[in-house]
């Protein structure tokens, strides 16, 4: 019965299941030693305030809960089960430049010309289906099922505007 009470108390304080708490320890082992020491030091400070708030709890449970909560405050991400580190301003600036470069690269490259060539190879069928008042969604499904060409509805509509808009 003591185990169940301890698990309930630990989970209510830390907010983590037992498996998630184990992942916290593996994350701590992956960070630099100085950061692990900082987590340990902040957990010692937190344990004093937790002991005052919950004098009925055993000391070892207080220290354990304090250590887990200190790790969460330092950067343990409970949603993905991984740790994160807060970026300082120079790192954030570097990330911003990287994101801008990645977006520029994506915008510059556009769609792969291979897909365009595949779709244009079946352009006669596409125009015939459009003349029969089939939607771009239906045509996209038709191409995916019969011709094994996966194309989004919006790209097909845009391609239609580019090719048929010239006439």
Cα-flanking dihedrals φ and ψ of residue 115, to 5°?
A: -65, -40
Contacting residues for 1 by C-beta, under 8 A, at least 6 apart: none
pLDDT tens for the chain, residues 1 to 167: 455 557 877 887 887 788 888 888 887 888 888 888 888 888 888 888 888 888 888 888 888 888 888 888 877 654 444 544 555 556 556 566 666 776 666 666 665 678 888 888 899 899 999 999 999 999 999 999 999 999 999 999 998 988 887 64
Q: What is the pLDDT of residue 81?
A: 46
- Other C-beta atoms closer than 10 Å to the C-beta of 151 total 22
Residue 145 and residue 26: Cα distance in Å, rounded?
46
pTM for the model stands at 0.45
* The pLDDT value given to residue 77: 57
| Alpha carbon distance 24, 10 (integer Å) | 14
* pLDDT value at residue 165: 77
Q: For residue 85, give every residue at least 6 positions away whose Cβ sits within 8 Å of its Cβ, in sequence order, or none.
A: 31, 75
What pLDDT, on the 0 to 100 scale, is given for residue 1? 44
CA dist list (Å): 13 to 8, 24, 65, 66, 101: 9, 15, 7, 9, 43
């Amino acid at each position: 019965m003591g185990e169940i009470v301890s698990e309930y108390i630990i989970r209510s304080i830390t907010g983590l299941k037992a498996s998630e708490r184990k992942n916290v320890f593996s994350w701590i082992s992956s960070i630099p030693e100085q950061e692990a020491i900082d987590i340990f030091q902040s957990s010692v400070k937190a344990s004093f305030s937790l002991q005052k708030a919950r004098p009925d709890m055993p000391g070892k449970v207080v220290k354990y809960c304090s250590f887990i909560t200190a790790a969460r405050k330092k950067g343990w991400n409970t949603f993905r089960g991984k740790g994160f580190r807060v970026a300082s301003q120079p790192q954030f600036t570097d990330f911003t430049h990287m994101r801008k470069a990645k977006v520029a690269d994506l915008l510059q490259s556009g769609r792969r010309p291979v897909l365009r060539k595949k779709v244009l190879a079946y352009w006669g069928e596409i125009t015939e289906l459009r003349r029969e008042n089939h939607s771009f969604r239906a045509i996209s499904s038709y191409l995916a099922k019969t011709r094994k060409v996966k194309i989004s509805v919006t790209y097909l509509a845009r391609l239609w505007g580019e090719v048929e808009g010239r006439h």
